Structure 1
Amino acid sequence: MANSVGAWIWSALLLFAFIASASSDESVAEETPSAVLTLDASNFSETIAKHPFLVVEFYAPWCGHCKKLEPEYEKAASILSKHDPPIVLAKVNANEEINKDLASTHGVRGFPTLKILRNEGKNIQDYKGPRDADGIVEYLKKQVGPASAEIKSSEDAVNFIDEKKVFIVGVFPEYSGEEFDNFTKLAEKLRSDYDFGHTSDAKLLPRGDTAVKGPVVRLFKPFDELFVDFQDFHLDALEGSIEVASIPVVTIFDKEPSNHPYVIKFFNNQNAKVLLFIHFSEQYFDSFKSKYLEVAENYKGKKMSFLLGDIKASEGAFQYFGLVESQVPLIILQENDGKKYLKPNLEPDQIATWLREYVDGSLTPFIKSEPIPELNDEPVKVVVANSLRDVVFNSGKNVLLEFYAPWCGHCKKLAPILDEVAVSLHDDADVIIAKMDATANDVPSEFQVQGYPTLYFSSAAGKLLQYEGGRTVDDFIDFIKKNKDSVVETIQSDPIKDEL
């Protein structure tokens, strides 16, 4: 997917706004041995081979969210070490060079990333539970038990089915046959996403129906129509039905932890995403909510998902988009390729009209960009979203472009090196060394920015290469000299010189 790191950063910023990550009041004494195993590339395979169930945190020492998680993870590991059987928690420093391939193999795109490894690592699932010690313990205890719990009584149903969560129950006359086998396989596959149960008596369930004999799958949910039944037991069809039914028509994004799983699902689905941000405490809230729900219902099944966000929980979204609170109420639509549309200072009656204009193709995409610098006289030229095409693709120059993040330690180390490269090549009028803050500007789809720093080289003839060589001054200069093209004489203007 184009600009995948941008999409990940956006959702991560939103989600971290309300993921529980409270710091523990108790600190682990230095002399106390850690209950968390420390793994690296040298002992990883050997360790997971010894454990049928293992939880691994991939972290970076500089990551603030990792530091907040650390005492909670340690406390949970200590508690779970006494579980019967013991549940083992481990960690890997993904920032170390020796472990980078390991992190890449396990799909680590941000920190912290937690994975559940079953059957000696043959079955790997994302950890999707809470980030506080008690929540980690409760979540993992369920993960080591059966994928689906048998409901034998009304008491079981009350104990298992949480009215604030999605719960999936299979009703079967007998616990055998293709339908039951497929249900069991799906429960094992999706157990990190949902809680599953099975019963032979539908009357035991909330809102029980004596007419339901099974086989049938009933999905309970705390929103919309409250439950949905499925009778297609083909694995793909059943999984698809569950995924669709488990996302609210309008996902609520606020600081309520029980909404966290639905926000995760909203960002993980492949639909175009519509986000309306308002003040939940304002008098206009009910008017916006009812109108937005009405519009969302009309677009059901049209590959568009809807979220209603409280501005108090949306600092990350506003930082990502480069927005300000004075634009609220505002609506944003983002497509899978990263293209965005935005309307600030919205009125409730404008929602439907604005979406119709989007569907008709009459809206202009929104591009987040810092202002084009009035002065750009440093050795490394500053590029922003609104100047990138002129500087990189339309200048007829050979351009080495760094995508960086202001907080990135590797980017800070690279900065003086690129300055020296730019100074060394100052007399070569065919070459530009440039940089762009990828957290403050939208990255065009031509660039696959998976982390920071990411460097690309665009030759004068338009050939685009991702730079994956060494990070010394000589490495960069040698690469540029080998890959640059002669500037075509018909190029009449230099956007950098024009700018200066």
Structure 2
Amino acid sequence: MSATDTPVDDDDDDNYIQGLLLTILAASSSRPSATGGEDDDDSKNVGWQNVPGGSHVRTLDETNFQETIKGNCCVLVFFHAQWCKYCGPIKPVFADVTASLQGSHCIVAAAVDCTDDLELAIQCNVHVLPTMMFFWNGELRETVQYQGDWSAEDMRLFAVNTSAAVHKPKKVCKIGGVADKKYRGQGKTRKNLKFRKKKIKKKKSVLKQ
């Protein structure tokens, strides 16, 4: 079993306990800061700075989450926590995936540390950690949750394939050998044009007789 595999035994118990823990901690308004002092923007999610490829991961919290989701077409978000025993080994894998997505894909890679931002995780319907979600069209409702193995290749394919599906035109038709997007009402206009041509041909044949 690789370091990124989640053990099969006791998965249901772990998920149940994590769900309870997320709910209880989110409801607690007096929980201590993960840094041991007051929360501030400079101290949140600093763990990515020491992870290879972590410079490509945008750290999100309640102050910039909505802005990031609404300001970008595709956002891949990794939800993790310091107390989650499975999150630690997967963090460098996620960082490696985000590095491979740079330049060739319009995907913003980001992460939310649920140690500090539990309320945000609950709002996004995160019930177990780690969780990876793909947000698009600037809507929290437009999401796809990753369900595969925590391997770099599977995670990368999920991000690439989901992005491709989001940007795929609904229907394509060929005009003069060139593929064009078919917009609403376009097909109907062409049908009317063909019908008019037929009527003109019929009128010409009648006049010749």
TM-score calculated relative to the size of structure 2 = 0.56
Residue of 38, 41, 55 corresponding to 1:371:
41
Distance (Å, rounded) in 1 between the aligned partners of 2:16 and 2:89: 23
Aligned to 2:153: 474
* Aligned pair partner of 1:109 in 17, 24, 30: 17
The structure where helix makes up a greater share of residues is 2
Percent identity reads 17
Is the alpha carbon distance of 1:483 and 1:110 closer, same or farther for their aligned partners in structure 2, counting shifts above 3 Å?
closer
1:370 positional shift? 4.8
Q: Could you tell me how far 1:424 is from its partner in structure 2?
A: 0.4
Alignment of 1:193-272 (within 5 A): none
SS of the aligned residue for 2:134 comes to strand
Change (3 A) 1:465 1:319: same
Which amino acid is the alignment partner of residue 482 of structure 1? N
Q: Which has the higher contact order (CA 8 A, sep 6+)?
A: 2
Aligned length: 146
Indicate the residue corresponding to 1:259 in structure 2.
none
8 Å CA contact retained: 1:380, 1:419: yes
Equivalent position amino acid for 1:426 in 2? Q
Give, in whole Å, the separation in 1 of the partners of 2:108 and 2:33: 28
TM-superposed deviation, 1:408? 2.1
Residue 415 of structure 1: aligned partner: 91
- Superposed CA offset, 1:55-80 (max 9, x none): xxxxxxxxxxxxxxxxxxxxxxxxxx
After TM superposition, give the deviation of residue 460 of structure 1 in Å.
3.7
| Residue of structure 2 aligned with 1:447, choices 85, 102, 124 | 124
Give the RMSD, CA atoms, in angstroms. Answer: 4.0
Query: 1:98 maps to which residue?
Result: 9
Which ranges in structure 2 are unaligned for 5 or more consecutive residues?
A: 1-5, 169-209
Q: Secondary structure at the match of 2:86?
A: helix
**Structure 2 CA distance for aligned equivalents of residues 413 and 426 of structure 1:** 22
Mapped pair 1:431 → 2:101: no
1:320–1:439 Cα contact (<8 Å) kept: no
Alignment of 1:261-410 (within 5 A): 318-319=30-31, 370-371=40-41, 378-392=55-69, 394-410=70-86
SS in 2 for 1:420: helix
Among 456, 477, 480, which residue is 2:133 paired with?
A: 456
For 1:108 and 1:429, locate their aligned partners in 2 and report how far apart those are by CA, in whole Å.
35
Work out the CA distance in 1 between the residues paired with 2:120 and 2:133. 12
1 CA distance for matches of 2:110 and 2:77?
A: 5
Output the CA distance in 2 between the equivalents of 1:450 and 1:385. Answer: 18
For 2:123 and 2:18, locate their aligned partners in 1 and report how far apart those are by CA, in whole Å. 22
The structural deviation recorded for 1:389 is: 0.6
Q: Residue type matched to 1:406 in 2? A: Q
Q: 1:390 to 1:325 in 2, by over 3 A?
A: closer
What is the Cα deviation at residue 482 of structure 1?
Answer: 1.5
**CA drift at 1:475:** 0.6
Whole-angstrom CA distance in 2 between matches of 1:100 and 1:470: 14
Cα distance change of structure 1 residues 98 and 395 upon mapping to structure 2, 3 Å threshold: same
SS in 2 for 1:428: coil
**Which structure shows the bigger proportion of residues in strand conformation?**
1
- 8 Å CA contact 1:404–1:454 kept in 2: the answer is yes
Deviation at 1:397, TM superposition (A): 2.7
- Report deviation, 1:372: 7.0
TM-score when normalising by structure 1: 0.25
Does structure 1 retain, via aligned residues, the 8 Å contact 2:73–2:136? yes
**Where does the alignment leave 5 or more consecutive residues of structure 1 unmatched?**
1-94, 114-266, 268-272, 274-315, 327-368, 488-500
* Distance change in 2, residues 1:472/1:325 (3 Å): closer
SS in structure 2 at match of 1:400:
strand
Mapped contact 2:114–2:121 kept (Cα < 8 A): no
CA distance in 2, matches of 1:432, 1:425: 9
Q: Deviations over 1:363-387 (max 9, x none)?
A: xxxxxx75278x9981111111110
Residue 444 of structure 1 deviates from its aligned partner by: 5.6
